[in-house]
Amino acid sequence: MTFTAQASLSRRLAVLSLAGLAASATLAQNSGYEPQRGQAGKDVIWIPTPDETVTRMLQMAEVQPTDRVFDLGSGDGKIAIAAAREFGARATGLEYNPDMVGLSNRRAQEAGVADKVQFRQADIFQADFSSATVVTMYLLPALNLRLRPLLFKMAPGTRVVSHSFTMGDWTPDETARAGYGDVYLWHVPANASGNWKLTGAGLPEAALSIAQRYQVLSGDAVFGELRASLVRPRITGAQIGFGLRDPKGQLWQFEGKVDGARITGTATRPGQAGVPFEARRTGEAAPIAPTTAAAEQEASAFAASTAR
């Protein structure tokens, strides 16, 4: 068989495979298929999320009508449907089981939100959900660890909510107990690491050095021969804040936004009006989270430890 013929055959087989999945989903949508608690899936068994847990997940993410919610491993579709019905957001469920996809589409129609919600048969590790502003999941710890490098490629400020399971050593920004499960929330942080040149009207020029691990910052500033630590530095999404005491002993408070290699915002000191400031990165940023290979190794180690 020639290469052209092989390619043509591969394309036809791919089309037939997709058609089969679509037909299965359509059949499930029309046949009244109902899942069984504990049934096996691709990587997890299916356990429905309690309604009160779903509501709390979406509340913690502060879902708004302007949001785009992606539910990874969407199962029966209840999280995506609730995001649309209760919070007015547009939502997409990614689910490997085509029968579940069909069931979810049927339930979205019954809930009157089929115009806001779609469900797709997909492998979450291959699918593109980069347009999400909110990501929800009820997976397993090892799967969360595998997802972590993908999440850190998303826009700063993207909210990530997990039912029951954490993200390894990435500390959540907020936790709750709702129903019988724990809920964890993270904000994908901008990368503020590296060396920066700080300037602004009325500000003494300084060289900043910032270290970052996930959303935890530390660092200092150099004014000539004086070195001073940043005071209570923090970052949430792209929003950064820190205090800094200048050579005259005045404590300035900086509030700004990280945009790539530039930070802009306002600096204030007690009793004075705020002044604009700017910082520009003078070198390369450092990784703020484990690489994909490191995350995969961590996930494999975790899976092996739980299998024993």
Residue 6 pLDDT exceeds 70: no
Return the pLDDT at 4. 40
Look at residue 307 in the predicted model and tell me its pLDDT. Answer: 56
- The answer to whether the 39-187 and 194-281 domains have the same CATH topology is no
**What average pLDDT does the chain have?**
87
User: Among residues of the chain, what percentage have pLDDT more than 90?
Assistant: 74
Overall average pLDDT of the 25-34 stretch: 54
CA distances from 68 to 61, 92, 93, 101, 121 (A): 12, 8, 11, 19, 18
CATH class of 39-187: alpha beta
Q: Give pLDDT, residue 304.
A: 66
Write out pLDDT tens, residues 145-196: 999 999 999 999 999 999 999 999 999 999 999 988 899 999 999 999 999 9
Domain range list for the chain: 39-187, 194-281
Q: Which long-range contacts (CB under 8 A, 24 or more apart) does 129-133 make?
A: 129/70, 129/72, 129/92, 129/94, 130/154, 131/68, 131/70, 132/68, 132/69, 132/70, 132/92, 132/158, 133/66, 133/67, 133/68, 133/69, 133/157, 133/158, 133/159
Q: What is the pLDDT of residues 81-94, one digit of tens each?
A: 999 999 999 999 99
Could you tell me if 95 and 104 are in contact, meaning their C-beta atoms sit under 8 angstroms apart?
A: yes
- What CATH class does 194-281 carry? mainly beta
Strand residues in the chain grouped as ranges (E): 68-72, 90-95, 117-121, 134-137, 159-163, 174-178, 181-187, 194-200, 206-213, 216-223, 226-229, 231-236, 239-245, 251-259, 262-268, 275-281
Determine the average pLDDT of the residues in 21-37.
Answer: 53
Average pLDDT over residues 103-125: 96
pTM exceeding the 0.85 threshold for the entire prediction: no
